[in-house]
Amino acid sequence: MADEAKYINFPISLLSGIFEKKTKTLSDILRYSLYVYSKKYKGSETNRMKCAAEYFDVYFTSGDEEKNSNRSLCKAIEDGKRVENSLDEKCPHVSLKLSMFWVIYKESHDEFEIACFCAFCAIKSILGHRDYVKTNKGLIAARMFGKTGKEETPVYPDSFSSYSEASVYLGKRHRVGCCSVGNLQDATKNGKLHVSRPRKNAVVIERNDLDRWFEEHYSMPKSMSLAEKYSLRYHIDRVLFELQANWGLKLYSDHSRGFYLSFKNELVDLAMHNEQAKRTNKYKEYAEVKARAKSEALKRINTYK
């Protein structure tokens, strides 16, 4: 079987240390994947691991010993077990083409390129065996850093009616305490932050405009982690655009929460799924309206009796 047709499978949680220790993280992923795959073979653990290594054309070494010696295979098995014992059984898995793994493992990559790889793996873990899926940026950003994404995320309003509310939001959402009302007012005067004024002495600041201004014009706090950085719209949008431009990702959204993703379907297919879902939701809403009307009518009839 050609190398391009071979895949390794691993839990998304193993990506958690890739930005700090890329080689060790990827080594753990490979050794875990081969150890799990080796269980399909018969014989001793060492023989099974050797069969898995030969299938994937992987060679473990230890010092000056020959490739895939008993000592090096035992060390790979030990590492595979260590990783396996540290995992949550319910963690989503990634199916990754081996050729792509080697590109990331062997070549040098900057932070953004690693982020794109992690986002690719995140989307693969969300897709699973499906051809397409509807998801959101928050879940992708969480899984990029090895999280399942099940944690509840704060829900913020779409707009703010004062500079004070906007400042408090920035403190909670972006963890900055020095972005004052004065900073926001200055940004408005300089034309960097768009603010609408529906009436005198009133302002309306759209959350999307506020996030965009912060990410493009405000200094990033030095204490911000990479996980927090890539949860910001500007940075996750850059990653998703790169995946669409060069990684084969198809993404579609139109006046709906979240978006549809696929590596197999064409964009027009995702557009059809989106429109069909909106139509189904309208039918459900209309059915609920009729049900409420019927209930109210029965109440009125009973009242008149």
Q: Is the pLDDT of residue 274 over 80?
A: yes
Asked if residue 214 belongs to a domain, the reply is yes
pLDDT band at 299 (very low <50, low <70, confident <90, very high): confident
Asked if residue 288 belongs to a domain, the reply is no
Angle, CA of 207, 143 and 126, to the nearest 5° = 100
pLDDT band at 152 (very low <50, low <70, confident <90, very high): very low
Structure-token pair, residue 221 = 């706090």
Half-sphere exposure of 65 (CA within 13 A, CB side): 14
Asked if residue 95 belongs to a domain, the reply is yes
More confident residue, 57 or 169: 57
SS3 state of residue 76: helix
In single-letter form, the type of residue at position 202 comes to: A
pLDDT band at 151 (very low <50, low <70, confident <90, very high): low
Last residue of a domain, one of 201, 229, 257: 229
Last residue of a domain, one of 200, 229, 258: 229
pLDDT band at 221 (very low <50, low <70, confident <90, very high): low
Asked if residue 122 belongs to a domain, the reply is no
Give yes or no: residues 99 and 173 share one domain.
no
- In percent, the amount of the chain with pLDDT more than 90 equals 50
Owning domain of residue 17: 3-107
Q: Is the pLDDT of residue 2 over 50?
A: no
User: Rounded to two decimals, what is the model's pTM?
Assistant: 0.74
Return the minimum-mean-pLDDT range out of 33-47, 86-100, 140-154.
Answer: 140-154
Give yes or no: residues 19 and 99 share one domain.
yes
Asked if residue 262 belongs to a domain, the reply is no
Taking residue 140's Cβ as centre, other Cβ atoms within 10 Å add up to: 25
pLDDT at 229: 85
Give yes or no: residues 8 and 97 share one domain.
yes
Start-to-end CA distance of the chain, whole Å, equals 79
Last residue of a domain, one of 229, 252, 267: 229
Asked if residue 16 belongs to a domain, the reply is yes
Q: Is the pLDDT of residue 305 over 70?
A: no
Give yes or no: residues 10 and 91 share one domain.
yes
pLDDT tens per residue, range 100-137? 999 999 989 999 999 999 999 999 999 999 999 999 99
pLDDT tens per residue, range 239-257? 999 999 999 999 998 877 7
Give yes or no: residues 90 and 168 share one domain.
no
Q: Is the pLDDT of residue 200 over 60?
A: yes
Give yes or no: residues 96 and 174 share one domain.
no
pLDDT band at 23 (very low <50, low <70, confident <90, very high): very high
Q: Is the pLDDT of residue 222 over 60?
A: no
Q: Could you tell me how far CA 150 lies from the centroid of its own chain?
A: 12
Region 279-301 average pLDDT = 80
pLDDT at 32: 96
pLDDT at 3: 46
How many domains does the chain fold into? 2
Give yes or no: residues 10 and 97 share one domain.
yes
222 contact partners, CB below 8 Å, separation of at least 6: none
Structure-token pair, residue 273 = 């799924």
Asked if residue 65 belongs to a domain, the reply is yes
Asked if residue 134 belongs to a domain, the reply is no
